[in-house]
Amino acid sequence: MKDKDIKTQRNGKRILIWIVSLCLCVFVVPSLYAQYQIRYARGQDVSPTFQGWKMNPDGTYTFYFGYFNRNSEEEVDIPIGPDNKFDADNIDQGQPTHFYPSPRWWVFGVVVPKDWPKDKRLVWTLTNRGHTNQAKAWLEPEWEVDQGIISKNSPRDSMLMTTGFGDVDFDNVAPKMTGSPAQTVKLGDPLTLTVTATDDDRPKPITAPGRQQGVRIRWIVHRGSGKVRFDPDIMSERVYGKPVTMQTKVTFSTPGNYRLRAVASDGQLAGAFDVDVTVSPRN
């Protein structure tokens, strides 16, 4: 066989292999992509997440935590105890026991002393659905956050109601909140809660169509395993330049201890106000 014919055959084989490989890519890559895009409505576990740390003006540090509920619909409850704990003297560091679907950011912070060792870990452990997941917080330099990082990542969580519009206002302060004290109510009786948010009028409004600015409030469940109904179950309208007050009626499906959280957002930063509620059985 002539050299020219041999080269032609080799080139032909290479072309055939390339075509087959391309075809495999066409079918395999979308298949792999689809696997990573699978969403489960329920039945999946929840992982805690460490989202960074910040030095406070008094020299102490705040470790910020969130979580990732892998369900797209199911809300999961994990009571404080062996399955929801910190490796500290007090296993309760203000973490949630009620977990909404999807990733949640900046859910709570834990303040540690100014002499906290640089390599010491603070570990939050969640055990659920046959999985044990941990978030390990420490003073890793790469994990230091500032107001810009918090503001830019907050729109990832719709519950924080931040907009992501405009440049970060580094002089902005999150809304301050006051509201109802701890409450006790009998099962079936409606409970009225009132909160007021005041702000520093920052960030300044953006004059653009459809971009409403100001402070708005919403209620969520931070702790408690029963069904909670808020009326109205909506976010308040954004208000700029004056305090915002929201009055909400709450009913519960099950007796127990609850921690309800009002979240107020100014568009870039969010503040929170918690109300503990004891729901007693109806005799």
Q: Where in the chain are the domains?
A: 1-38, 46-143, 160-280
| pTM (two decimals) | 0.84
Distances (CA, A) of 132 to 46, 47, 129, 238: 9, 8, 9, 40
Confidence (pLDDT) at 37: 54
| Model confidence at 72: pLDDT above 80 | yes
pLDDT of residue 54: 98
Report pLDDT digits (tens) over 240-269: 999 999 999 999 999 999 999 999 999 999
Q: What is the reported pLDDT for 1?
A: 52
**How many CB atoms lie under 10 A from the CB of residue 75?**
15
Which residue type does 182 have?
Answer: A
| Strand 216-223 with 256-265, pairing | antiparallel
The rounded percent of the chain whose pLDDT value lies above 70 is 85
> Predicted confidence band at 39 (pLDDT cuts at 50, 70, 90)?
confident
Q: Is the pLDDT of residue 16 over 60?
A: no
CA distances (Å), origin 24, targets 11, 57, 209: 20, 58, 48
Domain boundaries 160-280, CATH class: mainly beta
Give the model confidence (pLDDT) of 227-243 as tens digits. 999 999 989 999 999 99
pLDDT at 207 over 60: yes
Phi, psi (rounded to 5 degrees) for 181 = -75, -175
pLDDT at residue 167 greater than cutoff 90:
no
**Higher pLDDT residue, 234 or 85?**
85
Compute CA 232 distance to the chain's CA centroid, rounded to the nearest angstrom.
22
